[in-house]
Structure 1
Amino acid sequence: MAKLHFYYATMNAGKSTLLLQAAYNYRERGMHAVILLAELDDRGGKGVVSSRIGLKAEAVTFGQDTDLFECAGALDQERKIDCLFVDEAHFATAAHAWQLARVVDELKIPVMAYGLRSDFMGRLFPASAELFVLADEIR
C-alpha cells in the first residue's frame, strides 16, 4: 500500500543525503525512483539534488503552477514509478501537498517528501503544514 511520508528536520541535518540514499537503494534493486525538486532550488545546479558530502542525482524540476499529480502521472506512463521523492518540499505550495496525496491515493505511488518544518521565525511553511495534515507517516 502506497503512503505519503514526510521527513522534516532543521537546515543542515542531512535531509537531502537521506533522500539520495533512499533513492539509490530503490535504483540498486532495479526499481525506478523519481526525484522532484522545486525549480527555484538550484544550489546543486538546475535539476540536481546534491548534499554537502558530495552525493548528487538528477531531478525533475517543478514550478509554482506545476500540477504534481499530472506530472507524476505522465512520468509514470513513460516508465512505472516505484517511488516518488520530493526534496526541499517546503518550497512546494499547499496545493502541491494535496497533489502528492492524490499521487499516493489514486496512482498508488509511494511519496517521500523531505523538507523544513518552519522558517527562521518559527512559522510553518504552507506545504509543510499541509504535509503534517496529509502524511501517513511523519518523521
Structure 2
Amino acid sequence: MAKLYYRFGQMNASKSIQLLTVAHNYEEQGKKVSLFTPAIDARFGQGRIASRVGIAKHAMPVDDDTNLFELVQEAPSDCVLVDEVQFLRAYHIRQLARVVDQLGIPVIMYGLMKDYRNQLFEGSEAAVLWADQIEEIKTICADPTCNRKATMILKIKDGKPVYTGEQIEVGGNELYRSVCRRHYFHPNLAEM
C-alpha cells in the first residue's frame, strides 16, 4: 500500500543523498522514479537535486503554478521523490497526498522542518499534517566541541547570529549551521 512519507532533518543530515540513493535503488530494478525540487532552490542549477558529496540528478522544478498531481497522473512512475519540501506550498503537499491516495504511488518528501527563526516552513507544516509516516534523519551539532543532536538551524551573517528577518534565503554552509539548542542561543562562532 502506497504511503506519503516525510523525512526531515537539519542541514547536512544527508537528506539529498538519501533521496538520490532511493532513486538509484528504484532505477536499478528497472522502475521509473519522478523527481521534483522547488524552483526557488537553484544552488546547484535549476531543476537539480544535488548532494554535497557530489552526486546529482535532474528533477522537475516546482513553482507556485505547478500541479504535482497532474504531472504524475500524466506520466505515472513507481515512486515520487521530492527534495527541499519545506519550500513547497501547502497545496503541493495535498496534491502529493492525492498521488498516494488516488494513483497508489508512494511519495517520499525530504526537507527541513524549521527555519533559522525556529518556525515551521509552510511546506513542512503541511507535510507533518498530511504524511502517513514521519521520520527524522539525524545529525550532530556543528560546534566541534559538541556531540549533541542538531535540532536548530543557526543563520550567520557578517560573523554574527541572525534570529529575525525573511523566512527564506536560500543558502548552504556559508549562511547556515545545524546546531543543538544550547549553541543556537550561545554559538561559538569562532569554532564553527
Same-fold call, TM cutoff 0.5:
yes
SS in structure 2 of the partner of residue 96 of structure 1: helix
Q: Which has the higher contact order (CA 8 A, sep 6+)?
A: 1
**How many Å apart are 1:51 and its aligned residue?**
0.4
**How many Å apart are 1:44 and its aligned residue?**
1.5
Q: With the length of structure 2 as denominator, give the TM-score of the two structures.
A: 0.69
**How many Å apart are 1:75 and its aligned residue?**
2.0
SS in structure 2 of the partner of residue 127 of structure 1: helix
Offset from partner CA, 1:56-112 (integer Å, 9 cap, x none)? 111011111211111111222xxxx00000000001001111111001000111000
Q: Which has the larger radius of gyration?
A: 2
Across the aligned residues of Structure 1 and Structure 2, the Cα RMSD in angstroms comes to 0.8
Q: With the length of structure 1 as denominator, give the TM-score of the two structures.
A: 0.94
- What fraction of aligned residue pairs are identical, expressed as a percent? 43
Q: Runs (4+) of structure 1 moved beyond 2 Å?
A: none
**How many Å apart are 1:133 and its aligned residue?**
1.2
Match of 1:125 among 121, 139, 163: 121
**How many Å apart are 1:122 and its aligned residue?**
0.9
Within 5 Å, give how 1:50-69 maps onto structure 2: 50-69=50-69
How far apart are the structure 1 equivalents of 2:88 and 2:74?
19
Offset from partner CA, 1:11-59 (integer Å, 9 cap, x none)? 1111001000111000001110111011111111111111000111110
Please name the residue that 2:173 is paired with.
none
Within 5 Å, give how 1:1-139 maps onto structure 2: 1-76=1-76, 81-139=77-135
Q: Which moved more, 1:124-133 or 1:110-119?
A: 124-133
**How many Å apart are 1:119 and its aligned residue?**
0.6
Give unpaired runs (5+ residues) of structure 2: 136-192
Q: Number of matched residues?
A: 135
Give unpaired runs (5+ residues) of structure 1: none
